[in-house]
Structure 1
Amino acid sequence: MDRILHSPNSEDWVTWNFFQILLAQFPAGWWGHLVSAARRRNRELNFPFDDRSLPTPKLWTAVRAPSDYEARSRKRMLESGNPEWITRARMPDPVEGSSEIDIVIEHEQFLAYIEAKLGSDLSMKTSYDPQRNQIIRNIDCLIESAGTRLPIFWLLVKDVDAARSYVQLVDNYKNDPGLLAHDLPHRDSDLLKRISQNLTIILWSDFSELVCGPGADQESNAVKRELERRILGQQTIA
């Protein structure tokens, strides 16, 4: 809440206001707008979609690390020869903290996680696993939570500058799904191919005309103008 209220570059402020406006203005069409934007960005997108069966969106959901990864990571740390890692692995609390998923979209046929970025890039490692980038961490949690549903992972970002880690990682994972399987060796390779196919980067600006148009009153107009300022700053459009 402090970040929402006081940070001039808060991703949480943008995420909260963006989705509140989108859901309020398009209560029956918000999901169709999101999917349409994703299809424009990724022509290979392939998952169950029915605009008459709306999923349920949730913001900022904490998801624990998968138990299988937790066990393997603890074993790796114990065998690392690193005194700090060994000491940490012997402690009973989880060696990887919960992941905060910015937007979770629940449906009986699929589960979608959306990572929202404004000015920041992805985390490329965790405290005790230098190979576990944020996409891998979130997809691992996503698969664990999805069960028999199709897991879908998207990013919602301000720019697609080639220097961004999320641009490079998504390109690599889409062009070579084997890289995703390499980074998640305990997950089913066929499922990872489907996730790779649906990996998509969406831009906040894809929705600027929908979300940032005239409001109903002076207060909503002020919020929309500020939202537009934050999502339409300096950016590289694909």
Structure 2
Amino acid sequence: MKLMVRNAGKRFGERTILKNVDLMVEAHEFVCILGHSGCGKSTLLNMIAGYLLPDEGELLVDGELIRGPSKARGMVFQDHALFPWYTVLENISFGPEVQGAGKTEAKEVGRQFLRLVGLEKYADQYPAELSGGMRQRVGIARALASSPDILLMDEPFGALDILTRDMMRRELRRICEKLKPTTLFVTHSISEAIYLADRVVVMKNGVIADEFKVDIPHPRTFDMPGFGEAMQRIEHVLMENELEEAIQ
């Protein structure tokens, strides 16, 4: 599905969070939204999810106005947001069952996505019994089990240690290359954005400051030609106003 954000703005009280945001994401594209804390990137993602509505402008999926949450847009949060009283399999099967699948069919879908994230032997365990990385894999599987056309991810690896985070990046690329959802991934890590994305959208102070297409072939490593150059270009955009203020 194609996503279009047109002239979107959002305020909380007197504070302007987003202003005049225009963004187009093609079907099956993987876009990272990158920026410092407070730049508006999570607010934009929540508007795309339908949890927040814009004060100005509009957001559309295949020409249809976003008016609220939809099963066509799956969300993965930083804290995984699993039901602690459900087993791993029950967490993943929840979406398909709510959408009308019978219990047996929903559990079969759940097992399919557990296999996809490599956790089938943990089906009967509870979230508290899993590591942070495992819980995030369950969160991704749960979002995908509802068959969303658009996968939205709000800093899903931010709370993980660096080794687990690297493993999760590789897993996410593998899953997205297999299922090909349209993916928007919010991060404040430049290297993570370049590792994952087809395109990086840089946000500053509630606006889109720049966009960068990433032409490095997958699977990517941090020492591949062009990786360091891409990091420098994006870092320059993120830091240029800060550098000017420091000089003044």
Q: Normalising by structure 2, report the TM-score.
A: 0.29
Q: Which has the higher helix share?
A: 1
Q: Which has the higher strand share?
A: 2
